[in-house]
Structures are given as C-alpha cells and as structure tokens.
Structure 1
Amino acid sequence: MVMSKKGEVVCVTGASGFIGSWLVHLLLARGYVVRATVKDLGDERETKHLEAMEGAESRLRLFQIDLLDYDSIFAAVNSSTGVFHLASPCIVHQIQDVQGELLDPAIKGTINVLKAAKNAGVGRVVVTSSISAMIPTANHLGDAGEGCWIDEDYCRQKRGNSAFMYSVSKAAAEKAAWRLAEEDGVDVVVLNPGVVVGPILPPLLNTSMTLILDILQGKEFPEHLFMALVHVKDVALAHLVLYENTSAAGRHLCVESLSRYDRFAQHMERLYPQYKLPRFHGKNGPLKSNAASKKLIDLGFQFTPMDQIVKDSIQTLRTKGFLS
C-alpha cells in the first residue's frame, strides 16, 4: 500500500551528498517538509545548492550534525515522522585512521540515528547501505541477494585496502541497524545501491563519478572490479518507494545490471568511441540483468536503462567541467 505523505516532516542525514541532494530535491518536489543534515553549515559547498532548490525557502531546514554526537542528531530528527539515513563516510582511498575516519562514523553514527529516531517517536527509517555489504568482489556477483553478506573477517585481513574496509563499514552499520530494529522496535527498511552515477547536483565530484572519470581517462583497474551501476535519480526514488510503501520490508538491492569491468567498458566504448578506455585482459564476464533487484521491481519500480545512465554521466561530467 502506498501512503500519501505530502506535508509530512522527514529528516535526511547526509543531505548535501550525491544521493542525498537528489533525495532532498525529490522530497521537496513531492511536498514534504525536509530537515536536512550537513557536516558544516558554514560551508557553501554543502548548503548553497540545497537552499537553491524549489520549495527550499519554505520547506527546508538545515542542521549541522556530527555522527558521533547523539544530541546533534536528535535535534535534527526530532519532530520528524520519518528518517532517511544516508550519512556515512565513503572512503576508498588509503587512510591512516580506519577506525576513527571510517568505521566509527558509519557504525556508531547509524546507532545514534536509530536511537534518536526511537526516542523522537519516528515511524519508518530508511537506511542506505550498499551492495558492498553483500559482495566484496566480482567473483561473487551472482551471490547478490537479500540473504548475502560479505565475509568481514576476509575483508579485515585486507585492512590496508580501504575499499575492503568500506565494505566492512557498510555491513557492520547495516547489521547494527537490524539489531536495533529488533531490540527497540524501530521500523527499519534498507536500500543496497550499487555504484551510483549520473547527474551531479553538489559542486564537488563524488567517489563513484570519479570512478567513471578515471575509466574515461584510461586508468587501469584490478581484475576484481565489477560494475553494478544504477542511476542516482533511481536511487533517490527508491528511497521514496521504500518509505511510502508500507509493504516494503527487509533489504533491497538497487542496481540496473551487474557486469565485470571489461563488459561495461565495451558498453561505454560503443557509445563514446572517442574515449580510449583501458583494456582488461581477464576473463570476459557477461552482463547480467537486474533480476537481483526483483523486490524493488515488484513494488512497481522501473530502472533507467544502461545507455541513459552512461549518457547522463558523461553529460554531467562535461557540464561541470570535469571532462572535455
């Protein structure tokens, strides 16, 4: 059942990010009143594009939070009937303090948000996890599904590789959310997006679009790289679908298709032959359908096709001046 939510007050954590900005845009377009969180209210790179959105003047309020500070989170969440928890570090480059910069904000931040939601009397909380919580390498693409989790012990052995530790952060944070949902009775539903790309609303280039730019500029990638792409607007819409459909429950993989890097590169090269894409000489993996996203499709969700995902990504990189 889909419930009408116009005029309802909701909170979006991580609102200034790539996905968060699109979610705020769609929420305002649907008539929601949005309490949006950012890291620094004094940083126009976080605030200016949000404040410029249609409906923002009357229905958007910004809050500065620290994921490790419960009180700042409660102030933002309080008076909301629903919460979209997107705020979490997305770090795939090498960092010195994995625990402090990556794991603690992701895991403890999720715990703080859900506890604040419980204490504020919030109804549903949509938690943004990742396909990275399900599958660590391309060798396990076929295993993606609601019951699949990464091997955290294996990933922790690769502690020097921040991409593996990012997977740990997403899996551990999601497990914490499910534990609190069971213990405290919070209504939690989870979205597990793949590599999110497409039109950029914030002024800064995010991690996933940097990956697309690197590919177009000929950077070589390791054999284990897989491309589980999804359009950023689709991911934002999927958050709304999970929030507005009372029947939605559990985890929801959100990808248009699954493929190894070599297959995706061939796809891009067909559309944009002027770019000299790097060659991958490993096993040629097939392009898989988005059957793994069946739960969303069963809720009536339709994904943007791959050609359009690629075209929108290239166009935004050109428009923003990141690509000539």
Structure 2
Amino acid sequence: MAAATAKVVCVTGGSGYIGLWLVRLLLDRGYTVNATVKDLNDEKETKHLEAFEGAESRLRLFQIDLLNYDSIVAAVTGASGVFHLASPCTVSKVHDPENELLAPAIKGTINVLTAAKELGVKRVVVTSSVSAIVPSPSWPSDVPKSEDCWTDEEYCKQKEVRGSFFCTYFQDKCFGDHALSKVARENYHVASILRDVKLFALRWVDIVVVNPGTVMGPMLPPTINASMQMILLLIQGCTDTYENFFMGSIHVKDVALAHILVYENTSATGRHMCVESISHYGDFAAKVAELYPEYIIPRLSKDTQPGLMRSKNGAKKLVDLGLEFTPLEQIIRDGVESLKNKGYLS
C-alpha cells in the first residue's frame, strides 16, 4: 500500500510515547492524521502534537473514550488506515484492573476494529508487545523466539506472572461470566498483550501487529512511560530483572517506523517482533553500566531470562521490510540523555 493511496490515517493514543513519534513521522511523510487524545483541553496531551511541522494543516485532534463507540467513529471517519496504540500500560499495581486496564484494552480494541470495518478502513496496525511472546518456557532453549511463539497462559496462571495474563481475560470474560481471577487482580500490562491474541481470527479487517520490546529513547511527552521508567529505576539501583517479559530493547523512533512499514507494505502480514536484538536484561544493565560509570548500576547475572536464546535476527520480518535498527548503545544514550533533559536524572 503506497503512501499516496492512503493519505488519511487515524492514530489512537496519539499523545503517548510511541504515538507522538508515529504522528510526527506520518506528518513528515505527507499524511493527514486524525490523532486521538483523552482530553482536548489538556495541553500536556495536545501541545506537543500541535507543534509538529505540518500539524497546522494536516493534523486533526479528536477526544475519544475507547468505551464510547461514537467517539471512535468520529476519529476514524475518512481514514484509509488506523494505527491502534491507545491502551493502558503501567509497571505499577492497579486497584481496579477490570475498569482501568481490561475494559479499555479489549472493549476499546473491539470498538476500533468494528468502526474500521463499518467505515471501510483498508488496514489496521495494532500495537502489541513481546509480552505476548514471553514467558514461554516450553519453547526450545536452543531456538530463538519468533513470531510463532506465544505466551504460555498456564505458566502465567501458575506463577502469577505480572506481564502476561491475557489468558485470564479471554477465559473469564470472553468465554464465561466468571469474576477476574487473583492473577488479574494482582498484575499489570494487559493492553498490548490482550490485543495481540485472537485478532487474526476475527478477520474483520486487514490486521497487522507490531510487537515491541522495551521501548526507549527521546521522550516527546512531558511524562515518563513504563519502559523508560525501567532504565530510570535501574540507574537508581533497582535490582529487578524482569525475568518473565524482557526480550530486548528498541528505539522509540524505530517502533514508529515499524508501524509505518507494516502499514505501507501489503506483503506485511501477521505479527512483527520489534527488538534491536533478543537479549537478556543483564546484557542491557551491563551496557548501561559501561556507558554511564558515574552511576552505581546493579551487577546482574548474565542469564536473567532463563531459556532465552540471544539473537541479532529476532526482528527479521521488519529487517526484510527495510527497517535499520538503532544499536543498543545509542538506544541507551538517547534514553538516559532524555531522562536528564526532562529532569528525572541529574
């Protein structure tokens, strides 16, 4: 799908960490963008979007509620494509997971896909996560993870893994009327994972998925996102290893470019792992310590992700589409310097 044939697109979650970069790059490519925000009167959401080159003539902002179908229809109307990024994501414990996470993640996505189908949208790009790929302990340890790998729902239930309980939602909500399980009540990060599951089976519209790893780099919005909080906590001395859901890092600009590549190329189908390389969190921590010796970085065991085979070719599908990944060193430097510029680090 050439850009010239689909110049109007909708980006849900346009004021988010990845969303801002995506809107910026789409405007640079000549697209007209319908970007959605939660509150049109909140300058923290709108100011950065309106400052982009081309925004004055080719950016339209819409206030939506993912649970309000009509508000989504207004934003999608006239668009040939949709990039669905809007969904909650946090590394903190939530008090009401059903309303804070599950409803906007699943019901919101169904609303977006329904609107896309009804309005004749040609392609929808959904932002998922590598947390829909790991943890997967039954995957052979001598084979790199790929798009064919899916998070093991039984393992997540047994271990109460906080990164991946999409299975709980589908079992308890889609396939029955049971209350949310203890796993769901105590955990986080449903948004991207939930949307990755079963999407292809729906076949409502032409759907492709991007599965980013830990997204880092320059922060355009004023608030810190979940992935950048990980590197901040590491520098502050946190020894967590994120054993069950770290697969590698990715530059935020590369994630935005990946979305555009899978949208514009009709050859792109299914899921697309989006990491600079498949690696262990210990590798990442060691590189941060090497680049920033002035900080006291915890020394972690090298094999922080049991059973995960390192690979530089984990994102082969995106490489074949022409994406050149930013090296890990630059990802870290851009991330740390952004944290400094935003006042999170001195």
Mark yes or no: TM-score above 0.5. yes
Once the two structures are superposed, residues 7-50 of structure 1 have per-residue CA deviations (whole angstroms, 9 ceiling, x without a partner) of 71100000000000000000111110000001111111111110
2:280 to 240, 249, 260: 260
What is the alpha-carbon distance in structure 1 between the residues aligned to residue 298 and residue 255 of structure 2?
A: 28
SS in 2 for 1:83: strand
Pair 169,18 (structure 1): closer, same or farther in 2 beyond 3 Å: closer
Q: TM-score, normalised by structure 2?
A: 0.86
Aligned residue number for residue 87 of structure 1 = 86
Pair 152,69 (structure 1): closer, same or farther in 2 beyond 3 Å: farther
What is the alpha-carbon distance in structure 1 between the residues aligned to residue 219 and residue 333 of structure 2?
A: 13
Aligned residue number for residue 333 of structure 2 = 311
What is the alpha-carbon distance in structure 1 between the residues aligned to residue 138 and residue 231 of structure 2?
A: 21
Pair 167,213 (structure 1): closer, same or farther in 2 beyond 3 Å: closer
AA matched with 1:163: G
SS in 2 for 1:5: helix
AA matched with 1:262: G
AA matched with 1:314: V
Displacement, 1:196? 0.4
Contact 1:111 1:180 in 2 (8 A): no
1:250 to 246, 250, 270: 270
Displacement, 1:168? 4.8
Aligned residue number for residue 179 of structure 2 = none
Aligned residue number for residue 74 of structure 2 = 75
What is the alpha-carbon distance in structure 2 between the residues aligned to residue 291 and residue 232 of structure 1?
A: 19
Aligned residue number for residue 292 of structure 2 = 272
Once the two structures are superposed, residues 209-235 of structure 1 have per-residue CA deviations (whole angstroms, 9 ceiling, x without a partner) of 111111111112146163510000000
Aligned residue number for residue 120 of structure 1 = 119
What is the alpha-carbon distance in structure 2 between the residues aligned to residue 104 and residue 290 of structure 1?
A: 36
Considering fraction of residues, name the structure with more helix.
1
Contact 1:9 1:35 in 2 (8 A): yes
Aligned residue number for residue 60 of structure 1 = 59
Pair 205,26 (structure 1): closer, same or farther in 2 beyond 3 Å: same
SS in 2 for 1:27: helix
What is the alpha-carbon distance in structure 2 between the residues aligned to residue 147 and residue 293 of structure 1?
A: 12
Once the two structures are superposed, residues 45-77 of structure 1 have per-residue CA deviations (whole angstroms, 9 ceiling, x without a partner) of 111110111111111011011111111111100
What is the alpha-carbon distance in structure 2 between the residues aligned to residue 297 and residue 83 of structure 1?
A: 22
Aligned residue number for residue 156 of structure 2 = 155
Displacement, 1:282? 6.8
Once the two structures are superposed, residues 175-233 of structure 1 have per-residue CA deviations (whole angstroms, 9 ceiling, x without a partner) of 2422322xx3x111111110100000011111111111111111121461635100000
Pair 269,282 (structure 1): closer, same or farther in 2 beyond 3 Å: closer
Aligned residue number for residue 300 of structure 1 = 322
- The farther-off stretch of 163-172 and 17-26 is 163-172
AA matched with 1:83: V
- The farther-off stretch of 303-312 and 146-155 is 146-155
1:193 corresponds to 2:193: no
Q: TM-score, normalised by structure 1?
A: 0.91
- Equivalent residues, number: 319
Counterparts of residues 119-138 of structure 1 (less than 5 Å): 119-136=118-135
Pair 138,150 (structure 1): closer, same or farther in 2 beyond 3 Å: closer
Contact 1:11 1:80 in 2 (8 A): yes
Question: Among the aligned pairs, what percent are the same residue?
Answer: 56
Displacement, 1:299? 1.1
Give the unaligned 5+ runs of structure 2.
Answer: 166-187
Displacement, 1:284? 6.3
Give the unaligned 5+ runs of structure 1.
Answer: none
What is the alpha-carbon distance in structure 2 between the residues aligned to residue 205 and residue 169 of structure 1?
A: 17
Contact 2:105 2:190 in 1 (8 A): no
